[in-house]
Chains A and B, each alone.
Chain A
């Protein structure tokens, strides 16, 4: 081993002191110089890398805009593939808001035992009001129930059948919290109420809630299936577009390879091209969706008024727009990555 090759080496004790110190200094300077040089090199490499990324990003967009018709075709197909699941998602979201209204109207009527005293029932009502599932509780005493009955059936024979005794129990009308209630929790809650000592019987209507909730599950799953199918579609569309681009530019690719470009260098603009297809297709999809919802807004509002359904079409919010564009971008990137990975290796100069 030459002197100074490893100044911090373990054999320095064996060396002559003066020789070690001079060699040590020179080798230190040298290593410092090399460290400096490699730092510059690393820095330069990174700068070149960033520059080429920025260049490819702009170049890829320019390339697409230079042949607007064929680019527009690709944007259009991607936009349609993104619009369909988006539209269905909005419908599902609207139905969900309707479901909340149904849950809100979900009520449990608790008929108390005749023997239970009024203060006890008031105590039960107070306790129930603290339950998270409960929005509010209305207490109808047996007297009030009788009065209401009399009011409804004024002047009919049935009143005489009642005689002097009041046959009505006190009733608690429990409205449930829309945000927290779902068919399962409502049912569980109702069962718990049934266990109370004060309870004679429970009246519960959750059929509509159940139906709607199943409907939502169907729509949710349909949206998921559509998203997957159309995502694969976008992946394939972009992949095929990039494949054609590679074949079109075969000569150019061969020349750049001959001059010393590696696959990464050639692939970069193609990846950004795929990214642009996805991003612009996603923006188009958002525009189509927004125009469609605006177009549908008035008749739906009118229908909702006429049918008392309080149905409102959801609109695309900023989050959804970002997700759609990000989805398009990543699918475009993946599609072009796949195509360029496969086809660039096959194009070699001869």
Chain B
């Protein structure tokens, strides 16, 4: 599903955020990316979603070489990915419902379908009762879950989550992770960035560990 070949990334005027990273994620896999702050975890997700361009190497996503994707096609590439951001990136002047509906509006669903899907999605993260509230009225954990609801609402084949449990207490973290496992079980490829050791030990079937932009371990749990 996702292959990185000798990927390196240097931000303008910065040091190497990533150097010579190669790994492959199969369709339907659930993978964690672990590492200290600044190790380059978010950068990998940004490269996959074409938010940043690699300085070297190639990424293949769903059999497509991302290098060959034209600028005007990038939005369509992003629609295939449900991305959960570290800082949620919710629109503060719109209701919870409108925030979650946004990907469907962009893709062009019928109002009836939008309603159904948004409700189902909010129900999944347990926030259906807040659909008419503004996101800023909710706790940071709830905001995080709205971000998740928005990422899953269009049923993407790949979910990329950047520290989705960063603001949550252990009980909620477990709930969210169970959600991801549930998606993974119906065939969705899930990539979760986390440095929560408890979480990694409990859910980490496969963990890619980064350190200072280098891939230092590709661990698979033995059965």
**Chain A contact residues, CB within 8 Å of chain B:** 44-45, 47-49, 51-52, 252, 254-262, 265, 349-350
Contacts and interface: CB of A to CB of B under 8 A. Distances in A.
Interface of B: 49, 51-52, 72, 75-79, 83, 85, 89-91, 93, 102-103, 106-108, 150
Contact of B52 (A261, A262, A350): A350
B150 A259 contact: yes
Contacts of A261: 75, 106
A32 to B, nearest CB: 25
Chain A binding surface SS class: helix
Most buried by B among A49, A51, A254: A51
Contact of B51 (A47, A51, A252, A258): A258
B91 A255 contact: yes
A350 B79 CA distance: 17
Given A259-B79, A260-B75, A262-B75, 7 more contacts: A47-B108, A48-B108, A52-B108, A258-B51, A258-B83, A260-B78, A261-B75
A350 B42 CA distance: 11
A258 B108 contact: no
Given A52-B108, A252-B91, A260 B79 contact: yes
Most chain A Cβ neighbours within 10 Å, of B72, B75, B89 = B75
Nearest to B78: A260
Contact of A45 (B52, B90, B108, B150): B108
B151 to A, nearest CB: 9
10 contacts: A47-B108, A49-B108, A256-B102, A257-B75, A258-B49, A259-B102, A259-B103, A260-B107, A265-B75, A349-B51
B103 A260 contact: yes
Contacts of B108: 44-45, 47-49, 51-52
Given A261-B75, A349-B51, A256 B106 contact: yes
A259 B91 contact: no
Contacts of A49: 108
